[in-house]
Amino acid sequence: MGVRINKARYLWGSIGSPEELGEVRMAAMRRFLTDFTQSFARGRYRPDALPDLGFVNDEFDLALCSHLLFTYSEHLTLDFHVTAIEEMCRVADEARVFTLLNYDGEPSPLLVPVVKELRAQGYETKVRPVPY
């Protein structure tokens, strides 16, 4: 629904329409569910949730958070964002957050304060444009 409303804000290159985007997302979900069903018992997936992760320090090279932080800025506090990113940095050498836009496709009002707080704590931060 949000895609159709904000259609003009999307880059329609390799995916040509909201309908095709829906198909791509459904195919990805089906692939994930197939893998999850086969791999959960082998320990490939572990249930956990930000802002507190049950992993040891530096367990991973990379921590990714997609479409949670900044997307739901009106529901998640500044403190939650900072604590969640700190936790991602605790468990991984590098943390990446995508997207930095809120649910309406606008830059999150929390981005600048989060970056400011993380930099004040000595974290290196970069905002990089992506073709999405």
The helix or strand, by DSSP H or E, that contains position 18, with its residue range, turns out to be: helix 18-39
pLDDT at 6 over 80: no
| Radius of gyration (C-alpha) of the chain in whole angstroms | 17
The helix or strand, by DSSP H or E, that contains position 108, with its residue range, turns out to be: none
Identify the pLDDT of residue 72: 93
Identify the pLDDT of residue 8: 78
CA 29 to chain centre: 16
pLDDT at 63 over 70: yes
